[in-house]
Structure 1
């Protein structure tokens, strides 16, 4: 067990607030949040929020969890890294949805890290009941803090997975980019016409959920370097389906549908 934990959280957005609030409930845990947007040094619940780097420097954390948006993650680490005199005694963490840049950052600075990706968020997940949701840990994460966060997430009945940095980004291109792209393409064809029927309504509900996400989050998912490959595969299937429809080739359609059935049923 870790004792007298001093955790610095970077970012006080939706996920940063959630982690600060929930982690502050743990006994012998002191938390400070660094948020550049905050104007004054203040207390929020059981933790302190500041935009003053001098206060951060005086805090001397044992663990730093970066909850900034993906586009700001490395810059946010850059704000903090030069303040840390003894990097060997601090573990760095992130919740980035794409890991390529943080992998390079940890390696270039020779840092101990705990990198994980909570596969839940305020838009789709019920933050009051996360049972059955998922979190992915990156292999090579520092063991003590890996066990600490594994125990922390177990209280919410989350499913724990482990992948390498590269395996994670490849999976995100498949598991997030593909449904996001599909929903955006569907939304691009939708207008205000009221359409009866459950199939359309279900697709519309999913599309609305995606579009309710922050633009930053959507860009994080879509700007994965592997997303373009997935778009190529989607386009290939669309062209094939277009050919089947234009030629009214029922036999070829049966082959195509059977292939899809094998994929999902």
Structure 2
């Protein structure tokens, strides 16, 4: 699966590390300096690269404050069959955005993070899927 991760911070880097072993991944961040910390993945700084990548799934891992803004920025570059998702702890405004996006979506919140998760045993970690 081609997976695009929005945000190369702690959570975005964490998901890239985990998913890049079994999937083709790309990370998009508007701050090129953040991309220095992600490996085994494509690194994107503009939406043309996203369009060419044709992601099947987008995981939005930006700061909660910018979740909807990040989606709006990349939405025009996404294929019509792409699934969009977020890991935001606060879901304010997301329901309305998802309904207006025209894309399939899933809203999640992992009950772990890069500080506490056991990468060697992810099947024992918890996640809530709404």
| TM-score interval, smaller chain | 0.7 to 0.9
TM-score w.r.t. the length of structure 2 is 0.86
- Root-mean-square deviation (CA, aligned residues, Å) is 2.4
Question: Where do 5+ consecutive residues of structure 2 fail to align?
Answer: none
Residue of structure 2 aligned with 1:37, choices 31, 39, 46: 31
How far apart, CA to CA, are the structure 2 residues paired with 1:43 and 1:133? 24
Cα 1:112/1:38, change in 2 over 3 Å:
same
How far apart, CA to CA, are the structure 1 residues paired with 2:122 and 2:36? 29
SS in 1 for 2:32: coil
Q: How does 1:1-265 map to 2 (within 5 A)?
A: 5-26=1-22, 29-38=23-32, 44-84=38-78, 86-87=79-80, 89-123=81-115, 125-128=116-119, 133-138=125-130
Question: Where do 5+ consecutive residues of structure 1 fail to align?
Answer: 139-265
Maintained 8 Å contact 1:42/1:48: no
Richer in helix (by share): 1
Larger Rg: 1
TM-score w.r.t. the length of structure 1 is 0.44
Maintained 8 Å contact 1:74/1:105: yes
The one-character-per-residue Cα deviations of 1:103-125 (angstroms, maximum 9, x if unpaired) are 111112232112210011234x2
Count of aligned pairs between the two proteins: 129
How far apart, CA to CA, are the structure 2 residues paired with 1:76 and 1:107? 16
Cα 1:69/1:137, change in 2 over 3 Å:
same
